[in-house]
Amino acid sequence: MSKFGFLKKFKGSSNNENSNINFKIENDNCNGEECRKCVIACPNNVLIVENNQTSVGNPLGCKSCRVCASICPNDCIIFKDSF
Ligand code: SF4
Ligand code: SF4
């Protein structure tokens, strides 16, 4: 398994190695279009909301700054070292 192989189980992340994403998104608690705080806060335009769910639109752009995780009111964005 490649060093990014674990990403395959992450919803919204790429299934190839062209990704810097090391978090998962728990959309069950996401407020979607009503919120979009993570989308607005991300300095690198990584996240998108579509069909009322958050996902990764630009997997190469993530710098793991964790601004998205810290601003989410429902703790939907969970980094790998937290589970
Ligand atoms: S960790 Fe930072 S760069 Fe990556 S998606 Fe979240 S806010 Fe954007
Ligand atoms: S900040 Fe959290 S609740 Fe709001 S859109 Fe992003 S993932 Fe969903």
Give the ligand at the shortest distance from the Cα of 46.
Answer: 1
Classify 44 in phi/psi space as left (phi over 0), alpha (psi -120 to 50) or beta: alpha
Q: pLDDT tens-digit profile of 12-61? A: 444 446 789 999 999 999 999 999 999 999 999 999 999 999 999 999 99
**Å from CA of 17 to ligand 2 middle:** 25
**Å from CA of 1 to ligand 1 middle:** 25
Considering the entire predicted model, what is its pTM? 0.82
Confidence of residue 8 (pLDDT cuts 50, 70, 90): very low
The residue contributing the CA closest to ligand 1 atom 8 is: 42
Contact 16, 22 (CB under 8 A): no
* Structural domains for the chain: 5-82 (3.30.70.20)
For position 10, what pLDDT does the model report?
A: 52
